[in-house]
Amino acid sequence: MSDEYENNKSGYQAQSSEAITGSSGSASPDIDYVRPAELPEQDLYHGHTFITKWIFCQDAKVIGVQYFLTAVFTGVVGLILSWLMRLQLGFPGLAGFITAEHYYQFVTMHGMIMVVYFLTALFLGGFGNYLIPLMVGARDMVFPYVNMLSFWMFFVAVAILMASFFVPGGPTGAGWTLYPPQTILEGTPGSGMGILLMLVSLALFVIGFTMGGLNYMITVLQARTRGMTLMRMPLTVWGIFTATVLAMLAFPALLVSAIMMTLDKVIGTSFFMPTILKAGEVLEYGGGSPILFQHLFWFFGHPEVYIVALPAFGIVSDLISVHARKNIFGYRMMVWAIVGIGALSFFVWAHHMYVSGMNPWFGFFFATTTLIIAVPTAMKVYNWILTLWRGNIRINTVMLWCLGFIVTFVNGGITGIFLGNVSVDVPLSDTYFVVAHFHMVMGIAPVMVIMGAIYHWFPLITGRLLNETLGKWHFWATFLGAYSIYFPMHYLGFIGVPRRYYEMYDSPYMTSAVGMNEFISLAAFLVGAAQFILIFNIIKTLKTGKPAPKNPWKANSLEWHTSTQPPEHGNFGERLPVVHRWPYDFSVPGSKDDFIPQTTPPSEVVHTKVEKT
Amino acid sequence: MSDPKIDGFELKPGFRGMASDTGSDQTMFKGVHWGKAMMWIFLLSDTFVFSCFLISYMKGRGSTPAEWPNPSEVFALDAFGVPVPLLLIALMTFVLITSSGTMALAVKYGYEKNRKMCGWLVLATAVGGLTFVGMQAYEWSKLIHEGVRPWGNPFGAAQFGSFFFMITGFHGFHVSIGVIFLFIYAYKVFAGHYENGGKRGWFTTMKGDYVEIEILGLYWHFVDLVWVFIFAFFYLW
């Protein structure tokens, strides 16, 4: 093949006019022309020992799996914490060891673990590392050594976070938003070592993530294979890439607030600490601004929502397209929607602070920007549905998770419109309505995508297909169970049950909330337990599962067209793939198969009705 | 630095060029070294870190009820018995900006493969940076001597010391990291690690190239630029 490229030195512009007409022959090689490689082959480090191959490994795929496993471990811890919380809420006093302090610690750690150490690390560290190089046709991430450091920094951050469970006073119980001044004052659980370890762990997470994020961004921008333009990338890569950009710009605010709060805690500065009267005595602190922390935290916190959501949007688009055997509807609009949501996410943060007190015009501004986000988001939902419309849908486990995602996401999105409006948000603030909203939209919905992605890419990573029957049980238990948990919570919010309360005592909500709380708790135990079906399924499959055929889902994107499956170090064997089209050429009229891989040259499909992409 | 033509891809100028580069395959920034692109994006992220610090400072200064100390008195230095405002800071700024100049020359000689000149200039930059850190340490010790602490000071609002030590400390940390790398790179240039196709690094096992001097230069110019903002916000406001 390479000889043909040599002949065509005239370049990029020649491709459209003379080059095609000028040459002879029917299936002219010129329509297959792709510019020669700009860069030499990547210089890779090949591990030889067990340690360099599997532990301090520089292969993005191994790093991805390492991220994945570490994140899942923290996720299981978060899950167990949620069980303990529901045990207390549904059946107060049944478990005597859960004191009010413990309850607050569980709430805090559950929130922080799930948002930062589970979802962010899983999507960007796990799927990002594994899929980006494979999907853009690179040998590896551009800086494998920095990538390895990134994982180990994350690992240390997780270790420090877990260590905070075992220090005197336990982990911090200030709520996952860590609002000062109460976070670092005595009386809050874990205001000693607990909060300190949390802040250090967050700072390390940010540093570790920055190393990884630079890799993801430069790999997408500067290390794509021949023919892979930005508009031929799978939406998965677009989602992860945009989320990484957000993270690179949003995590600095978290880092800065963590540094400032650490100084407040350790050496007694008053960045966030106003003058405080405690038991008739004025504390040493004074003159600081607690609202400043809220601004910094939510300038990180709101983009963080989309750091989790955008990779999920991207992945689910690919899964739906593959399993409905149809091209994604409105690819370019999907890309621009991802980018638009990402950009808008930096202008909405204060909608988390309506009740902190602000100038009404600011509330008006942030409510407007918040509602504008609904436009690109709704566009994506319509496009998913239009992709499904008249598709050749395979109702397998992956598709079930995708359908579950769409429903859940729409549900959570609509309650988001409620909460984005100041006047509706103020009465609903700090009630279970908020809990229901964000668990639907950034808890359950992204987790559904993760599950779908696991069933989809498991054969690629391990070479074996997960059991479908167990998968369907897993899906239905999770889907129905999750709705049993969060649907009633909307109602709890409307009757005014406040969140983060250890117990309701004899409040007026009691009559109608008691039974519902018990029901929610039972459902929560069930959903949690259902996740062990997946773990059982994975273990069983690894031992006795049936080997997956090559490209079992008949997908087009590059990760399924490697020389071996699972892909080896260097990903693509001798030659890097050359890309001629987008990854969504499914069910093309006139085509032999119902899919045309990205590597198929145009000359092989001239008789089909494939469009130029 | 980058060729006007890259293997069958003519680089067009201006916005047209931007659009055609963005729409092309393989790379978006044509002819830009991976490490250089990485440094630019890292600096973008770091810009946000410093912006958060400086905006927090503005907010903190604006909302604290106590009076803010007068910078031209607090930062004055006695020269021959006369207090001269901003004397030390002016010197520090001069040294740091000068070191940016030597850095830029080092990059130029690096690309010309002039090993000796490049090495000496990187070393000069490192010495400049070290001088800056030294003067900053002197300034800190002077202020601490006068009773300024992160949690309070005799001149006014407690937040003055808090923000001053935190932000100049964070900047000084950046300079110190830069100085360490400048010394390492000066050694690497003199030892010829970037000659003849490059020597493999001990940690990363990747081959060295003079472009690394430019990457370090980007970082160094950034640190200087940030100092200009810190200077303006702390000493002139």
Q: For residue A213, give how far its alpha carbon lies from the nearest alpha carbon of chain B (Å).
A: 9
> Are residues A12 and B151, on separate chains, in Cβ contact within 8 Å?
no
> Are residues B25 and A299, on separate chains, in Cβ contact within 8 Å?
no
Mean of pLDDT over chain A: 91
- The model's pTM: 0.93
Q: Which of A13, A249, A259 sits opposite B45 (nearest CB)?
A: A249
A458 pLDDT above the threshold of 60: yes
When scoring A214, A293, A300, A598 by the number of chain B Cβ atoms within 10 A, the one with the most, hence best to mutate, is A214
> Are residues A226 and B10, on separate chains, in Cβ contact within 8 Å?
no
A21 pLDDT above the threshold of 60: no
Q: What is the mean pLDDT of residues B92-121?
A: 94
pLDDT value of residue A11? 37
In which residue ranges of chain B is CATH 1.20.120.80 found?
33-236
> Are residues A12 and B63, on separate chains, in Cβ contact within 8 Å?
no
The residue of chain A nearest to residue B166, with distances taken between CA atoms, is: A260
What's the pLDDT band for A210 if we cut at 50, 70, 90?
very high
pLDDT value of residue A14? 35
A3 pLDDT above the threshold of 80: no
* Per-residue pLDDT reduced to its tens digit, B126-167: 999 999 999 999 999 999 999 999 988 888 899 999 999 999
Structural domains for chain A? 61-558 (1.20.210.10)
Q: Which residues of A touch B52 (CB under 8 A)?
A: 252-253, 255-257, 296, 299
Q: Which residues of A touch B205 (CB under 8 A)?
A: 45, 145
Three-class secondary structure assignment of chain B: CCCCEECCEECCCHHHHHHHHHHCECCCCCCCCHHHHHHHHHHHHHHHHHHHHHHHHHHHHHHCCCCCCCHHHHCCEEECCEEECCHHHHHHHHHHHHHHHHHHHHHHHHHCCCHHHHHHHHHHHHHHHHHHHHHHHHHHHHHHHCCCECCEECCECHHHHHHHHHHHHHHHHHHHHHHHHHHHHHHHHHCCCCCCCCCECCCCCCECCCHHHHHHHHHHHHHHHHHHHHHHHHHHC
The residue of chain B nearest to residue A14, with distances taken between CA atoms, is: B8
What's the pLDDT band for A357 if we cut at 50, 70, 90?
confident
CATH of B33-236 among 3.40.50.2300, 3.40.50.300, 1.25.40.20, 1.20.120.80 = 1.20.120.80
pLDDT value of residue A28? 55
> Are residues A248 and B207, on separate chains, in Cβ contact within 8 Å?
no
What's the pLDDT band for A573 if we cut at 50, 70, 90?
confident
Q: Which of A259, A267, A296 sits opposite B150 (nearest CB)?
A: A267
What's the pLDDT band for A8 if we cut at 50, 70, 90?
very low
pLDDT value of residue A141? 94
pLDDT value of residue A529? 95
Q: What is the mean pLDDT of residues B45-63?
A: 95
pLDDT value of residue B6? 61
A442 pLDDT above the threshold of 60: yes
Q: What is the DSSP string of A354-414?
A: GGG---HHHHHHHHHHHHHHHHHHHHHHHHHHHHHTT-----SHHHHHHHHHHHHHHHHHH
Q: Give the C-alpha separation, B222 to B237, whole Å.
A: 22
> Are residues A269 and B38, on separate chains, in Cβ contact within 8 Å?
no
- The answer to which of A31-40, A463-472, A507-516 has the lowest mean pLDDT is A507-516
Q: What is the mean pLDDT of residues A191-220?
A: 95
> Are residues B166 and A218, on separate chains, in Cβ contact within 8 Å?
no
> Are residues A286 and B8, on separate chains, in Cβ contact within 8 Å?
no
pLDDT value of residue A280? 87
pLDDT value of residue A13? 35
When scoring A136, A221, A295, A339 by the number of chain B Cβ atoms within 10 A, the one with the most, hence best to mutate, is A221
Around Cβ A154, how many Cβ atoms within 10 Å? 28
Output the CA–CA distances (angstroms, integers) from residue B226 to A249, A340, B47, B174, in the order listed: 17, 30, 8, 10
Classify residue A590 as exposed, middle or buried by CB count within 10 Å of its CB (0-12, 13-18, 19+). exposed
For residues B138, B139, B141 and B145, what is the CA-based torsion angle, rounded to 10 degrees? 130
A49 pLDDT above the threshold of 70: yes
Helices A432-439 + A468-494 axis angle, to 10: 150
pLDDT value of residue A15? 39
Q: Which of A35, A230, A253 sits opposite B8 (nearest CB)?
A: A35
Q: Give the C-alpha separation, A521 to A387, whole Å.
A: 37
B223 pLDDT above the threshold of 90: yes
> Are residues A35 and B64, on separate chains, in Cβ contact within 8 Å?
no
A46 pLDDT above the threshold of 60: yes
Q: What is the mean pLDDT of residues A104-126?
A: 96
What's the pLDDT band for A76 if we cut at 50, 70, 90?
very high
Q: For residue A274, give how far its alpha carbon lies from the nearest alpha carbon of chain B (Å).
A: 9
Question: For A563, phi and psi rounded to 5 degrees?
Answer: -65, -35
**Which helix (H) or strand (E) element contains residue A68?**
helix A60-90
pLDDT value of residue A582? 94
> Are residues A269 and B22, on separate chains, in Cβ contact within 8 Å?
no
Question: Which percentage of chain A shows pLDDT scores above 70?
Answer: 95
B4 pLDDT above the threshold of 80: no
What's the pLDDT band for A126 if we cut at 50, 70, 90?
very high
> Are residues A252 and B45, on separate chains, in Cβ contact within 8 Å?
yes
**β-pair partners for B25:** A229
The residue of chain A nearest to residue B202, with distances taken between CA atoms, is: A145
Count how many pairs of residues, chain A against chain B, have C-beta atoms within 8 Å.
Answer: 161
